[in-house]
């Protein structure tokens, strides 16, 4: 079984997909303890390491593996310009390059926001690709929309895959399976979860059986974890009620919601469409039917986490963990494709 090390692992969205595709998740590395607690809880046979990958030579404290998967932040690039990819402020990205040179895994997968491709007119992205190639890898990159792979969410992210040049293979990403005419909708994903109209509900049993293929896919647990309503004040519920299905702050009466006029503010999901991109907050989006923000479990399903995947930590931390994760179903389909080349 091929081993995988997960850098900047977060709660483990990428790892979950690779695990379901038959890979052995060996080590998860992150410097946020609450994320690692969630990871350890869901990957009991894997090791977790709380390490700052921005520090010098920290890669030497991590055992080698067949594959490296990573979602490194890229804050440094916006400061340093396209010709300074080796600038110390880019150490988080450089840690991946160093690992490739140090341990020479068979392959790697890196995920990042779509803006990485256009930063500094695309020069940063070109330099990143060159850097990976210089480490001895044949590199393929693509901008993927998770909704095209069965995830009930519109989420565009850049994926970069490299295979050791010695293997003489060039990776091809899996072909999209869905389009805007048959995307998995919010209702198909979360429509059978308890409404929570009467307040909080935590770790309850299911109240409805699965009615869609996606619900059958995610309902692999005897209990519902992380499905707890936010207790809004009545005036907040009344304001949310003014937002129509699929609408946003622009549909509110004049003078209402003026303090939150930005792209994702006061957005209500549409029952017949995928969700907007799940973010790390919890007050920008509303349930398509109920006058409240989505629960952790609802957003986790929209990210394609199965119901058995339990998130630990504060509610704020759980929202960040869900929002930052790679959708496991998309990760699974990439991992399954990668397995053919290895």
User: Could you give the residue numbers annotated as active site?
Assistant: 74
User: What span, in angstroms and rounded, lies between the C-alpha atoms of 325 and 113?
Assistant: 12
Provide DSSP, 104-152: --SEEEEEEEGGGGTGGGGHHHHHHHHHHHHTTEEEEEEEEEGGGGT-S
8-state DSSP, 26: E
Q: Which residue has the tokens 């929202």?
A: 319
What residues are paired with 156 via a beta bridge? 145
d(CA 283, CA 89): 32
Task: For 34-55, give the DSSP string.
Answer: HHHHHHHHH-TTSEEEE--TTS
* Residue showing tokens 């920008």: 284
Question: Could you tell me the CA-to-CA distances from 227 to 33, 74, 144, 235 in Å, in that order?
Answer: 23, 32, 29, 23
- Coil, strand or helix at 14: helix
């Amino acid at each position: 079984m091929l081993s995988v090390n997960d850098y900047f692992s977060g709660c483990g969205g990428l790892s979950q997909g690779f695990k379901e595709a038959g890979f052995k998740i060996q080590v998860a590395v992150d410097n946020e303890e609450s994320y690692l607690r969630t990871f350890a809880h869901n990957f009991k046979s894997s090791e977790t390491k709380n390490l700052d990958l921005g520090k010098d030579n920290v890669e030497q404290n991590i055992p080698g593996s067949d594959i490296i998967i990573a979602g490194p932040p890229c804050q440094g690039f916006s400061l340093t310009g396209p010709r300074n990819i080796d600038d110390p402020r880019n150490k988080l990205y450089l840690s991946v390059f160093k690992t490739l040179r140090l341990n020479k895994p068979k392959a790697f997968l890196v995920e990042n926001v779509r803006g990485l491709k256009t930063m500094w007119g695309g020069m940063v992205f070109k330099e990143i690709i060159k850097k990976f190639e210089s480490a001895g890898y044949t590199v393929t990159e693509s901008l993927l929309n998770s909704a095209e792979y069965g995830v009930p969410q519109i989420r565009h992210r850049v994926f970069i895959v490299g295979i050791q040049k010695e293997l003489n293979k060039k990776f091809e990403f899996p072909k999209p399976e869905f389009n805007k005419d048959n995307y998995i909708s919010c209702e198909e994903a979360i429509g059978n979860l308890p409404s929570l109209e009467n307040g909080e509900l935590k770790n309850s049993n299911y109240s409805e059986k699965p009615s869609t293929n996606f619900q059958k896919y995610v309902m692999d647990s005897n209990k519902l974890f992380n499905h707890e309503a936010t207790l809004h004040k009545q005036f907040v519920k009344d304001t949310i009620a003014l937002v129509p299905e699929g609408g946003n702050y622009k549909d509110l009466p004049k003078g209402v919601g003026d303090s939150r006029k930005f792209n994702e503010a006061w957005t209500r999901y549409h029952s017949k469409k995928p969700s907007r991109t799940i973010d790390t907050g919890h007050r920008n989006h509303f349930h398509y039917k109920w006058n409240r923000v989505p629960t952790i479990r609802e957003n986790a399903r929209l990210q394609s986490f199965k119901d058995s995947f339990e998130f630990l930590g504060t509610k704020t931390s759980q929202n960040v963990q869900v929002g930052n994760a790679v959708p496991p179903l998309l990760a699974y389909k990439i991992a399954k494709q990668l397995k053919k080349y290895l």
